[in-house]
Amino acid sequence: MARTRPIPIRLDAATIARADRLAAAMSRRAQGAQVTRAAALRRAIELGLAQLEKKVRG
């Protein structure tokens, strides 16, 4: 696994609730594996960055 380091960010309550719902949905799809809020947010950031990079490159 790649080295990681924590980055403090502030999220509003609605975004946290969305992340919790996403983590719950991902957990259901992971056949019993518990997906944490942090893991769900990491994946969302990865996917969002990829889409944004694609858009910026044109």
> Does pLDDT of 56 surpass 90?
yes
Q: Directed axis angle between helix 13-29 and helix 37-57, to 10°? A: 100
Instruction: Return d(Cα 53, Cα 58) in angstroms, integer.
Output: 9
> Does pLDDT of 1 surpass 70?
no
Task: Return all residues near 24 (Cβ < 8 A) that are at least 6 apart.
Answer: 35
Express each pLDDT in 7-47 by its tens digit.
Answer: 999 999 999 999 999 999 999 999 989 999 999 999 999 99
Instruction: Return d(Cα 44, Cα 4) in angstroms, integer.
Output: 16
Q: Which pLDDT does position 52 carry in this prediction?
A: 95
Q: What is the pTM of this model?
A: 0.81
